[in-house]
Structure 1
Amino acid sequence: MMNVHDSSCKDQMATCTKHVRRLHAQSSVKERSRRISNSLPGASGGTHLRASQSFMERRTVSVPSKASLQGSLSAGVLPRTASGKVIDEDESQEKKKDEDTTNQLLPTEPSNMTDGMSVSMESLDEGAVCVFPGSGDTAELEDDPDLALLAEEAEAWSVTVDKKTLRKMSAKDIKRQDHIWEFVQTEKSHCRTLKIMQRILAHGMLNEAGLTKDMVDRIFPKLDTLLDIHLTFLRRLTERQRLHSDKSIDEIGDVFVQQFKGDMGERMKTAYGEFCSRHNESVQLYKDILKSDRKFQNFIKKCSRNSLCKRKGVPECILLVTQRMTKYPLLIEPIIKTTKDTRMDSKLLEQALLLARDILNSVDRQVDAREKEHELIEIYNKLDARSSALYKSKKFKKSDLLSNNRKLVHQGYIKWMTARGKPFEVLAVILSDVIFFLSENNQKYTFFSQDNKVGLEKDSMFSELKFSCSKVDL
């Protein structure tokens, strides 16, 4: 402390630097804050992540190191507390009295920013698919306008409208709207399942579990086609709902016919035929990989912790898809029953029901044909290569079972009566052009021919073959 006698003495004193140092310290705080912001995810030049990624707010409160914080805060961005509350800039400066205090918050040793993050961060590498809620594809699914995953849907149309509207309607019309509402809701649920299968399971198998595209396609055959088919259908249904503010639908039969008829109907036959006929193969392949592949096991465990995947593992999702076509007739029938016969919609609904059943029958035939292929392969594998039979004066060998595009029509055990009247169990195999019999010994098949009888063409077997059966499973 110095006493100043008069104004002339002030000129002889050294300038006080305390205020200047304080301003400099405050400036340093701002500069460091700017450098911190630009190094965080979401700042310019950094890694771009969705704002919904919740790991940003679950991060530990510790401040990142100097080494990892390069850049400057973009204009207008203020620092926040761990809870997300904005800190006023003046308040922040008052708490940081000088540059030394600021330096204490920035450790000189590099810190690991991932220490406080969820294990789901393993999936945030470039090109990887995230399988945890609030990040990656899961966040996109939640925001998907087609699915409205976060929106609470009413169980019935009648609970979404006011009582005044319901009093103007008959009980039959209210039930009709409820049945249509149920149809739309189940279609939306089916699309959710397909999107979860595609965006979380299939993409994750490729990018995280390391499966080949061929293997993923074998687990989820025709998945992309099925998703496209059903999203198109769902959009048409929701467009029809939007015609009225209360989401009631006057006519719906034309939308159903458009879906089940023509090109779209053929696409459904092909896609569902492929998917359903390979159901058992898909599930078995999944189980085989799960037993032997540790990386795949870890991926499936992550998916099981995903809120969208709960109670929907791979086998469950596959089963749900195979069942969808069987639901359409059951959903359309009550709509028909509550639709007046005088309405044009009634005829269209009847047509749609027939078309849906036709698709279902086509899928069943494809599933049956696939099963027959496997049965024929099993017979082929068990047949002794040294065994043969006569057919059209030529040897009929093991290799002939699969030649000429032969198809298995039916197989079953019968009891062949020997000349002495003793029953003898043999396997009767009916192919697309020939019938023959096999006997089994030591888990191997051999061609069975009593009294050197030859194999017969299928069309003539009943006229030329004479045998009695005490038990026929054909």
Structure 2
Amino acid sequence: MEEVDPRLLEFEQDPANWRELASPEALATLSKKEIKRQEVINELFATEHAHVRMLSVLQTVFSKPMERVALLTATEVATIFPNLDEIIDMHCESFQLFRSVLRKQVHNKSLFDGTEGEWFQKLTARFCSHQSWALEQIKIRQKKDPRFNSFIQESESKPQCRRLQLKDIIPIEMQRLTKYPLLLENIAKNTENTVEKERIKQSAECCRKILNHVNEEVKVMENFLVRNTQFITQFTVS
């Protein structure tokens, strides 16, 4: 049985919709624009919940068991799933922040600008830039090692994977980065308070800059892989 971080247990169940958390009286006082705003905030919150859940699948179903049963060394696991634990920590924090926004609790923190944004960009750039490498290593190892191939197939059949293969799960961080600016811009569009609207728009712009940076890092790594395919194949994990 896989060891599960206690923090991740709450992600096994789908979160309640924001309407379930509000009284009928409170809902009746909301304007159409505020209802739309709350719907988008709820989408941001719910999709972050789903993202953390799938990141935890990478950790508990794939990366940790691979190392535990000696299919890969610790170094090989760290290369295929770079800074995965830190990525999970970061998204657990963002999930808590989005939940506080949904519940209209006081918050002044942003994950996408300042030192927080720099750290977010650094972690996601490293993780995402390695995804092409990771997918290639997994494909090569599956062809060469029947035991490794059996492990992957057995792991992918577990209900936690929700019928997704490992090759579908590894790219989820990059996919998540593309969603933040769109969701934040939609929240800003439905925000009445001018100061709040500008703050959210600024966060959306910071997300776009992070996404652009990560895209560039991905391109650099993919170009490197193309130029060095023969060398990499020769010295890949064996």
Structure 2 residue aligned with 1:275, among 124, 127, 152?
127
Q: TM-score, normalised by structure 1?
A: 0.45
Is contact 2:15–2:49 with CA below 8 Å preserved after alignment? no
C-alpha change, 1:234 and 1:211, in structure 2 (3 Å) is same
Greater Cα radius of gyration, structure 1 or 2: 1
**1:93-152 deviation line (CA, Å, top 9, x unaligned):** xxxxxxxxxxxxxxxxxxxxxxxxxxxxxxxxxxxxx2xxxxx42xx36xx445523434
Runs of 5+ consecutive residues of structure 2 not aligned to the other structure: 232-238
Larger % of helix: which?
2
C-alpha change, 1:260 and 1:152, in structure 2 (3 Å) is closer
Is contact 2:132–2:222 with CA below 8 Å preserved after alignment? no
Is contact 1:146–1:235 with CA below 8 Å preserved after alignment? no
Aligned to 1:249: 104
Is 1:203 aligned to 2:54, yes or no? no
Is contact 2:63–2:77 with CA below 8 Å preserved after alignment? yes
Aligned to 1:88: none
Is 1:222 aligned to 2:80, yes or no? no
Is contact 1:147–1:191 with CA below 8 Å preserved after alignment? no
Aligned to 2:235: none
Aligned to 1:153: 15
C-alpha change, 1:187 and 1:295, in structure 2 (3 Å) is same
Q: TM-score, normalised by structure 2?
A: 0.86
Deviation at 1:237, TM superposition (A): 2.8
Is 1:373 aligned to 2:224, yes or no? yes
**1:146-205 deviation line (CA, Å, top 9, x unaligned):** 552343434x42354343322111111111111111111111111111111112210011
Is contact 2:133–2:225 with CA below 8 Å preserved after alignment? no
Is contact 1:147–1:188 with CA below 8 Å preserved after alignment? no
Q: Distance in 1 between matches of 2:220 and 2:12?
A: 41
**1:285-323 deviation line (CA, Å, top 9, x unaligned):** 101111121221232233133221232321111121221
Structure 2 residue aligned with 1:180, among 34, 41, 47?
41
Percent of residue pairs identical? 29
Is contact 1:251–1:345 with CA below 8 Å preserved after alignment? no
Q: Distance in 2 between matches of 1:147 and 1:179?
A: 25
Which residue identity is paired with 2:103?
A: S
Is 1:285 aligned to 2:137, yes or no? yes
**1:24-82 deviation line (CA, Å, top 9, x unaligned):** xxxxxxxxxxxxxxxxxxxxxxxxxxxxxxxxxxxxxxxxxxxxxxxxxxxxxxxxxxx
1:418-437 → structure 2 map (5 Å cutoff): none
Is 1:259 aligned to 2:120, yes or no? no
Identify which of structures 1 and 2 has the higher relative contact order when contacts are C-alpha pairs closer than 8 Å and 6+ apart.
2
Q: Distance in 2 between matches of 1:183 and 1:233?
A: 10
Aligned structure 1 segments of 4 or more residues deviating by more than 6 angstroms: none
Q: Distance in 2 between matches of 1:182 and 1:314?
A: 25
Is 1:300 aligned to 2:162, yes or no? no
C-alpha change, 1:237 and 1:167, in structure 2 (3 Å) is same
Q: Distance in 1 between matches of 2:214 and 2:12?
A: 34
Deviation at 1:337, TM superposition (A): 0.8
Q: How many matched pairs? A: 232
Which residue identity is paired with 2:157?
A: R
**1:391-412 deviation line (CA, Å, top 9, x unaligned):** xxxxxxxxxxxxxxxxxxxxxx
Deviation at 1:209, TM superposition (A): 4.9
Structure 1 residue aligned with 2:74, among 206, 210, 213?
213
Is contact 2:113–2:206 with CA below 8 Å preserved after alignment? yes
1:432-451 → structure 2 map (5 Å cutoff): none
How big is the alpha-carbon RMSD for the aligned residues of Structure 1 and Structure 2?
2.6
C-alpha change, 1:200 and 1:356, in structure 2 (3 Å) is same
Is contact 1:177–1:248 with CA below 8 Å preserved after alignment? no
Specify the SS of the correspondent of 2:10. Answer: coil
C-alpha change, 1:158 and 1:228, in structure 2 (3 Å) is same
C-alpha change, 1:314 and 1:152, in structure 2 (3 Å) is closer
Is contact 1:206–1:216 with CA below 8 Å preserved after alignment? yes
**1:242-293 deviation line (CA, Å, top 9, x unaligned):** xxxxx532776x43xx201122212222222222222221111101111121
Aligned to 1:236: 97
Larger % of strand: which?
1
Which residue identity is paired with 1:151?
A: Q
Aligned to 1:393: none
